[in-house]
Structure 1
Amino acid sequence: MQNFINRIDFNPILEYSLLISLSIIISIIGYLIAKKYVIKVIHKLIFKTKSKWDDTLIKTKFFEELAYIIPPLILLYFSKFYPQNISSIVSQIIGFWIIIVIIKVIDSLLSAVLEIYNTFEISKDKPIKGYIQLFKLLAYILGAIIALCILFDISLLHVLSGVGAFTAVLMFIFRDTILSLIASIQIVANDLFKVGDWIEAQNFGADGEVIDIALHSVKVQNWDKTIVTIPTYKFMENSFKNWRGMAESGGRRIKRSIFIDSNSIHFCTPQLLEKLKSIDLIRDYLDEKSAVVDTTAEITLNKRKLTNIGTFREYMKRYVQSNPNIDSKNFTFIVRQLEQTSKGVPLEVYAFSNKNKWAEYEQIQSDIFDHLLVALREFDLKLYQEPSGEFGSSK
């Protein structure tokens, strides 16, 4: 190359102008050849392989980013033939260029690593997206420092030695990043939640499924399909509820009360007991109780007597327990009377359905209480209901 240059009988300005133009043209041609032909050949070879991980490199455009390093390498080769004053400047610019390309290649490679990792089942329990984003951030910061040092011909050691003086400033700038990193480690290490979990964070209006866990934010898709983005570190400052335990248990809690009008509560009369014995679910219960309590029409507090609310509570228990969609063996099952309120006497069903999908769960719960709300009339009980605006109005 030097002999070729020596033979050109041009003045120095034209000589080096020609050389620079030639080097630029060759670098562009080299890049186009790599992009149009070499990368296509590589893609064809990759598609023929049985493994899928190399396809991810194509998806993240790893080879396209790598092709950008060809022009600066060609220019770097030709720069040694430039004049000394131009060669040093060009070398600094090329060094800056190469560092930028390396950063982009690292970014693409880390994205490929994340894509490959997400194909494994463990990625659902141990997401690494936050760590990948952290590595990318560090790569960009360190790459930018190195690139600027090369561009302005500054010693990297001098720059790094001066970083300590700006630690407080850096801590302030990257405060959220540092807090989010710590939060991400705690979330993964303590298995607080993972992608696919149903979480409820009332402070942020989030009640739905986790769809993404990143370094700086967690995305939750609510059941109305809206998406809430929450800073990762906020989960360490605020409480939230994870419904994963419910999903994994196979059951879902039903906790609902029927409020009985206290004016309708009374002892069971012989006529009421006779009518209630026609109900198969509580016939044996009434026969058993009739042997030990007074079933006459006499109103007395000196003898044990059945009440319509107590009998209805037993009916509620047996009816709910007989439902094939209620799991009373593996979960807590209680039908209880709670403390009387201004809205009546509450009878609460505390049980678990063996279906935890929302629609099925609501259907089971509704069917049970549809029946109980109608059945209480057979026990001479009334549902408590606040008077409407027309109550007592004159006609």
Structure 2
Amino acid sequence: MNVRDTIVAISTPPGRGGLGIVRISGSQARAVAEHILRFRRPPRWQPWSATLAELPDTEGHTVDQVVVSFFQAPRSYTGEDVVEISCHGSPVILRYCVEQACRCGARLAQPGEFTLRAFLNGRIDLPRAEAVRDLIEATTLYQARIAAQQAEGAVSRRLAPVKQQLLDLIALLEAGIDFAEDDVPVPSGAEIAARLRPIEEELRQLARSFDYGRLVHDGLVLAIVGRPNVGKSSLFNRLLEQDRAIVTEIPGTTRDLVSEPASLEGIPVKLLDTAGVREGSDPVEKLGIQRTLQAMADADLSLVVLDLSQPIEQADLALIERARRQGRHLVVGNKSDLPRRAEPPQLDAIVSALTGEGIPELRRRIVEAAGPSGAFELQPGFITNLRHAQLIQQALAHLEKAGEGLHTLPHELLLLDLYDALKAIDTLTGATTAEDILHRIFSTFCIGK
């Protein structure tokens, strides 16, 4: 990949639409556009302006009337000259426009190459570049809002003072070593420890925020389990806010897993409605029950649903115990609209899938049980990216190693650990990142971004 090439790609989603955008970036962007388009008068190429043009075919016949926008380097998305051609959203027209641009000297962009150039040209740092991808892939408005904050530099702004404090400490130790003969004071172990403490605390807070950030980024799988006829499918439909699963009074109506994506408090969730668990003789029902138990084992969280209008049975208690052994779970009492006859040993929420009573509270309890939120969701710049979390843990490990050797190691060796911590932070922000890592990150983008 030659980053000096002029590149072109369709930047709008595949398929037909009202508009489609072809983006050209590079030093020859204007020349390519002038070759493939027909302007009524020679274009003046005023930055941040738009003009009308025509896209002709090879015989000179007009194929489409387009709007051409120009963004001059370095004040563009990529930091290069960028021309965006807004066509009508016909796949045939968009492909033809790209083909003509390639014939006139442009190259088809690789996935993520526009954003890669923005990073290489200093327009954005690596966390902001990765947030662009997360924003494109967001499935809930909350995900989009968090990604937009990170694309604006929320993570980088939280790391900047940490890095500055670490640089100040490194400079202090370096000065004490290099200018010892000039009576430059050498910091004591207590002073170094005092300077390390706020750096480590901020990094620990960021590391802890990943428990909630991973939930926001990846979502969770939620299995709804219980005996037949306790209202699992009704609860599934209520959480989904649509009638997706068949609901009848006949026990065993659900024979297989039914899955649907949903959003709970802005968190993407894959809901699983499962077959009722009981001692069945029907081979098909037995297979459905096996899949229910497997879904419990694989899910991030299980909802064990009880029928509060009926006495608790041994099968209910067995399911609660299985869920407890497997990890995160909530016990939900359903049918609160009917006279209560059950007194289970554990009850985390009471709802009526029929009337909707208690559903908003259940939604909150699900998110709380799946991952801690609290102060994290109120802070801009919490960590949602596994790569970021791993690098922060690496930086913390090096700082802790330096702290352990404060009173036993010379400052030259402490500096090695501090520099390793700095390297981890710089790798996170992209200040020092190997080429193969950059390729792996940007190859996950769509081509037009």
- TM class by shorter chain equals under 0.3
- Between 1 and 2, higher relative CO (CA 8 Å, sep ≥ 6) is seen in 2
TM-score (norm 1): 0.23
Q: Which has the higher strand share?
A: 2
Max Rg structure = 1
Q: Which has the higher helix share?
A: 1
TM-score (norm 2): 0.21
